[in-house]
Structure 1
Amino acid sequence: MSVSAIESTLQQMASLATQAAGPSAGKSADEQPLKGTEPGSFSGELKAAVGRINELQQSAGNTAMAFQTGDPGVALHEVMVDMQKASVAFQMGVQVRNRLVSAYKDVMNMPV
């Protein structure tokens, strides 16, 4: 798998996660970026994608908890849509991880 194909997949993943998440809240002031995770770098984009998947899962969990506690402002269909968004995002993250591991193994098995 070529680098451009991986970058294309990551960009698609980022745009879909952004569309699914809608407007997101700002980052906390105490969140320190790790070395090599600048925006635009591979590790930075990967970290951001994992963060967006985490936000979707937390949002879905909060919506489900609100529904279970009887919040009148939360409907069942909202809970189901949020849970499905989180599930799809997680499955896509797993597939990207699998592809990256496969590409790494292919590179490592190349004769020198």
Structure 2
Amino acid sequence: MATQGINQTQGIDQLLGELRSASALAAGKAAPAQSADAAGEVDFGSVLKSTLEQVNSAQQTSQEMQQQFELGQNGVNLQDVMVSLQKASLSFQTMQQARNKLVSAYQEIMNTQV
């Protein structure tokens, strides 16, 4: 479960890096010094899809734990359910912020005069 959180953080960091690069390009600034070879080839679409899948997975896991707790199944305690709910909420809020940044970057690109 801890590696899933680390992977989510790395995926979100990659997504935010891509958004910053797109925003810098839209503003006419040079992209941050990061070569494709140093970071490896990263497809924006696959990073976005992977991040969305991780957020969805966190929400589904949280919902399943909540249902198990409500049904009184053994091995599911309130603390784990609450932590899972908070992780799901935080990952969703982070994804919303990334979406907002993406929309903002898109609008900025569309308003750029050529």
- TM-score normalised to the size of structure 2? 0.65
**8 Å contact kept, 2:65–2:81:** yes
When you count helix as a share of all residues, which structure comes out higher?
2
Q: RMSD value over aligned CA atoms?
A: 2.3
In the other structure, the counterpart of 1:85 is 87
The one-letter code sitting in structure 2 at the alignment partner of 1:66 is: Q
Cross-structure match for 1:108? 110
Instruction: Find the counterpart in structure 2 of residue 72 from structure 1.
Output: 74
Q: CA deviation at 1:13?
A: 6.8
- 1:10 paired residue among 9, 12, 17: 12
Q: Runs of at least 4 residues of structure 1 off by over 3 A?
A: none
Distance change (3 Å), C-alpha of 1:47 and 1:9: closer
Residue identity in the other structure for 2:45 = S
Q: Is the 8 A contact 2:65 2:76 kept in 1?
A: yes
Tell which structure's C-alpha radius of gyration is larger. 2
Structure 1 residue 73 displacement after superposition? 0.8
Q: In the comparison of the two structures, how many residue pairs are matched?
A: 81
Contact 1:53 1:90 in 2 (8 A): yes
Q: Distance in 2 between matches of 1:71 and 1:85?
A: 21
How much has 1:12 moved relative to structure 2?
A: 5.8
Q: 1:63 to 1:13 in 2, by over 3 A?
A: farther
Q: Which has the higher contact order (CA 8 A, sep 6+)?
A: 2
Measure how far apart 1:11 and its partner are.
2.6
Match for 2:93: what amino acid? Answer: Q
Return the letter of the residue paired with 1:41. Answer: D
- Segments of structure 2 that go 5 or more residues without pairing to the other structure are 1-9, 17-40
**Deviation (angstroms), 1:111:** 1.1
Q: Does 1:94 align with 2:63?
A: no
TM-score, length-normalised on structure 1? 0.66
